[in-house]
Structure 1
Amino acid sequence: MLVLVAVLVAGSLAVLFAGSTVVGPQGDRSTGSVTSRSSSPAPNGDPPRDPLTWPFTRDSIWNLPIGADAVYVPAHIQQATAAGMTADVDVLILTPSAPDTPVYYNGDAWDKVPGRCDVQGSVLFSAPIPTDFVVPGNGGGNPHGTTPNYATAILAANGHTLYQGQPFARCSAGGNATIMWSQSSEDLYGTGFSGAHGGSMLSSIGGTIRLGELAPGGAIRHAMKLNMDSVNFYNGSGGYRWPATTADSGYKGFYNGSIPAVRMGSLLALPKATDVDNMSLETEPAKILARAFQDYGAYIADTAGWSVYGIDTEYSPSGDVLVEFQNDWGFPLWEDSKDTPWARDMDRIFGNLSVVDNWDLTTWLTVSASNGALGTGLGRPRVPWAPDLGPIPPDITPPVSIDTLSGSPGLEGWYVSPVKVKVTASDIGGSGVNVTHVRWDGGTWEDYTAPIHISGDGSHTFEYYATDFAGNNETIHSVPFMIDTVRPVSTVRVDGTPGPGGYLSPAIVTLTATDATSGVGSIRYRIDDGAFWTYSAPFRIAGAGNHRLEYFATDQAGNEEVLHTIVIPVSGGWGHPPPIVLFHASGTPGENGWYISTVDVSLTPSSSNGSTPSIAYRVDDGPWVLYSGSFQVPQGRHLISFQASDSDGFLGSMQSIPLDIDFTPPKVVKATAIGDVVGPDATVSWTGTDQVSGLAGYQVSVDGRPY
């Protein structure tokens, strides 16, 4: 209802102001008219705009001129003391036909110098970037500062989508491109509110001073962005105001301003009562800047972190505004000195700025619907609205959708629970995703509205594709997966010669198992709480006594059966001593029973029946493994457990041998005077650390004498 009311009210205002007189960019007076926001000619008769150099819709906050009814509140910006003027450089890469380039995660941000050049994570997105375009990383050689913010906008190949993030780097031609975070929610042909200026989340490209604008004969025909000292910012009301959606993290600790209207996102402007021609400005670029401050204003987008003024300027494959400015005017835009004409002009401009205080989302909706009749803060716009954009390129790119399967994963790609399938679709062609179609197991296609839950043991196939509003269909994706939620079933059969109270030694044990879906993976068993063995063929249990047999089956999907237990009584009969195992550890011995190198363990079995027994072993609480040769044990305190079994069914005793390994030297942490020249009676102290065996002591040498 809010939007509808705004449209109705603004429609009346549009009729009221149609044909009224507005002030042109240079103070001339011309007759305005009302047009729709289509691709028809704009009120001032200009040809359609090129979105690459003048982006976003006519009613974007970046393109709206200030209105006659704007309410101004003096900002009382504190005079900068650290520099005459600075720039917050925005990286703009608007080359949709350039090679598609992956952009990787790098978290160096503003904390590491040098930094930002290395790949530290996965690809965040891919976008067209010219191979020879270089954006330096952190460091003293960066012409834009040691740790520039580098809010970045990269235009996708579709000519619509903007990838925005911060801070961007590509430290060498053809090298890896990196960024810490990114978003892609804005369209070059949209309103362009949001972006990657971390202090405000305002646009990375909207409000940026472009090449040719702050040049001889140039004009800035849009709102700008400011990077300013936080001593000016009020820390109430969350520290920000619309159109910003955030303030700096921890802002309450360093936003120290006293003017409630001055917050992150505030629109600063020279009031309409200010006579720009009589501000005693000494430089021509300052006059261009002052006119833009009066006609459009500038939004506070970021915190400078020091006592400076800063405006946002373009650095792109087409050039650098800072270089252009120096070449055109013969002095730097980024001026360290406070005692130059340009620096004095900046004091004059920033010292006279006020906040356009009657500017919020509701007011913007009214202005937007006026179609050129109203300006920022209401009332007749100081200058005509921007021309319309040229024809919007058609969307010929299909949408892209991806699936996410979730459930309890088993083995070999199986799930051991029902599976939830989530589909996420996006459209980089510009028209947007209309619908995503799904079906499974050859069923009927249906519209995707929520995650799909699929159950039932066996093999399944999930298919999906997305359609955008332009009618482009994505290629069908087909995702096979398998579900097995039922455990296998195992049984035991004991054969042998009956004897008093059981079987005459030995008893023969046969284990079998079945599984309905994925198939039997293995059967594991153990005798008398010994090692777990993997069943491969019938085996013997020998030696008089009541022997406890435990066994269970696991299927190919990883479902484990509940452990079965039976007691097999064996009596009398033949016998011989159980098999034995010799344990040998090979490594470099240290002190106190420790090894100071990796250790190879070998196990040598023997049996009095002349056969070679089998050995099962494990390290610590790991799985039981059939011994096939020596194995290496890593650093740490370990327990090696093992047991032998011979062909007659006799089990050796379970053995467990500790093995302590530490091959990492301890470290001395310097505290005071280690390695330094000290005077008589000086105190020298230190501490040390060791991560494995612990510290045994320290050895000290003074003046080269023995430790």
Structure 2
Amino acid sequence: MPIGSNVRYVPANIQKAEWVLADVEYLYKLKANNPIRSVYVPGAWGPGRCTGTLAQGTLPLPDNLIVPDATKYSTPNNPAAFLLPDGKTLVQLNPFTRCTAGGNVYGWRTEDVSIYGDGLRGGHGGSGLSSIGGSIRLGELTGTRPIRHALKINLWANKYLHYSSSNPGYRWPADRADSYAAQQYKGTNPKLVMGTLLAIPPNVTKASLGLQTPAGRKLFHALQNYGAYVVDDSAGDAHYLSVEKGVLEEFRATYGYDFCGTSGTFYNDFMKIFKALHIVDNNEPNNVGGGGTPRVRMAPPIGN
């Protein structure tokens, strides 16, 4: 849904972060003749994900699909969405892990949903939101077509996200906050929580921000026309966007510099964009994007 003409903006006061980072998501269309493998709850969030023993059904997966275990220094979210051979059912996991070729699969499995549904529920554990909806897909940051959907971002909960006895740290469309929200959500703005929709107001322009990179300008338009939902905690001084696996390599090959980093022209554009984000205060189930006339045309229905 695009942002609407009746949107009510509230300052988010997001500041420059040390890092630009990406939450890499694994998106697969599965074939009926793939080997059937068991799915288990992970044995740990850190190293040892592939030690779980609680079964959660099966998936038809190619044997060569491997996603490494976490390490002492890296505990990626690994949200994953699998479109089953029926062309309708989405199975979503987090943190998707498979340590050996042909082995079992690990990750908390959410309730299966239809790809023709509302696109809300999924494998982002901090918010309960989709592993595929809002993901920046291959070609979207490097091609000529505009991005025609809302995005997903991770913010540092300890600095930005709010929790109180009367505000449990989330709002629609999120259905939860992190289990540690009461202890670690220390933001002072009660309107900035899991599920908050953020967007760039119409009075802000690419020129006024001084954006220099093609990808920065593409993100600007997406965030002004559609916005982005807060879906997870960055757990440090970093701003994240959710991207499909392969986007980071495609970005580097196209532009000659990395998406992730702590400096550079794209880093500067990224931080200017995040500082320009405002809260869409009246984003509600019957008033998505603030309501009124959409800023841009709706994307077409899913093709088959």
Does residue 75 of the first structure (1) align with residue 5 of the second (2)?
A: no
Check the 8 A contact 1:93/1:129 in 2, yes or no.
Answer: no
1:326 is displaced (CA, Å) by 1.0
1:149 partner letter? N
Any idea what SS the aligned residue of 1:184 has? coil
Q: CA–CA distance in 1 between the matches of 2:54 and 2:169?
A: 34
Counterparts in 2 of 1:123 and 1:253: CA distance versus 1, 3 Å: closer
Does residue 92 of the first structure (1) align with residue 27 of the second (2)?
A: yes
Check the 8 A contact 1:226/1:299 in 2, yes or no.
Answer: yes
Match of 2:257 among 316, 331, 335: 331
Match of 1:254 among 170, 177, 184: 184
**2:168 maps to which residue?**
238
Does residue 150 of the first structure (1) align with residue 78 of the second (2)?
A: yes
Q: CA–CA distance in 2 between the matches of 1:123 and 1:93?
A: 21
Q: CA–CA distance in 1 between the matches of 2:266 and 2:171?
A: 31
Hey, which of these two has a bigger chunk of strand by percent?
Answer: 1
2:39 partner letter? Y
**1:167 maps to which residue?**
95
**1:117 maps to which residue?**
50
CA RMSD of aligned residues (A): 1.7
Match of 2:300 among 387, 398, 405: 387
1:341 partner letter? T
**1:340 maps to which residue?**
264
Q: CA–CA distance in 2 between the matches of 1:191 and 1:302?
A: 20
Fraction of identical pairs, as percent? 39
Any idea what SS the aligned residue of 2:248 has? helix
Larger radius of gyration: 1
1:328 partner letter? T
**1:351 maps to which residue?**
275
Hey, which of these two has a bigger chunk of helix by percent?
Answer: 2
1:242 is displaced (CA, Å) by 0.5
2:255 partner letter? W
Mapping for residues 263-662 of structure 1, pairs under 5 Å: 263-315=193-245, 320-335=246-261, 337=262, 339-364=263-288, 376-390=289-303
Q: Deviations over 1:20-60 (max 9, x none)?
A: xxxxxxxxxxxxxxxxxxxxxxxxxxxxxxxxxxxxxxxxx
1:172 is displaced (CA, Å) by 3.3
**1:208 maps to which residue?**
135
1:72 is displaced (CA, Å) by 0.7
Q: Deviations over 1:488-532 (max 9, x none)?
A: xxxxxxxxxxxxxxxxxxxxxxxxxxxxxxxxxxxxxxxxxxxxx
**2:120 maps to which residue?**
193
1:94 is displaced (CA, Å) by 1.9
Q: Deviations over 1:85-118 (max 9, x none)?
A: 1011111122244504323324333233xx3234
1:258 partner letter? T
Counterparts in 2 of 1:358 and 1:98: CA distance versus 1, 3 Å: farther
Q: CA–CA distance in 2 between the matches of 1:160 and 1:239?
A: 32
Q: CA–CA distance in 2 between the matches of 1:247 and 1:77?
A: 19
Any idea what SS the aligned residue of 1:104 has? strand
1:341 is displaced (CA, Å) by 0.7
Q: Deviations over 1:105-145 (max 9, x none)?
A: 24333233xx3234x314312223222222121127xxxx7
1:233 partner letter? L
Query: Normalization by structure 2: what TM-score?
Result: 0.93
Any idea what SS the aligned residue of 2:50 has? coil
Check the 8 A contact 1:216/1:328 in 2, yes or no.
Answer: no
Moved more, 254-263 or 94-103: 94-103
Check the 8 A contact 1:66/1:295 in 2, yes or no.
Answer: yes
Q: CA–CA distance in 1 between the matches of 2:143 and 2:286?
A: 38
1:68 is displaced (CA, Å) by 1.3
Q: Deviations over 1:597-632 (max 9, x none)?
A: xxxxxxxxxxxxxxxxxxxxxxxxxxxxxxxxxxxx
Q: Deviations over 1:142-173 (max 9, x none)?
A: xxx71100111112221111111211112233
Any idea what SS the aligned residue of 1:125 has? strand
1:235 is displaced (CA, Å) by 1.2
1:223 is displaced (CA, Å) by 0.3
> Which ranges of structure 2 fall in alignment gaps of 5 or more residues?
none
Q: CA–CA distance in 2 between the matches of 1:383 and 1:189?
A: 21
Any idea what SS the aligned residue of 1:167 has? strand
Does residue 107 of the first structure (1) align with residue 42 of the second (2)?
A: yes
Q: CA–CA distance in 2 between the matches of 1:314 and 1:126?
A: 23
Q: How many residues align?
A: 301
1:132 partner letter? N
User: Whose RCO is larger (CA < 8 A, sep 6+)?
Assistant: 2
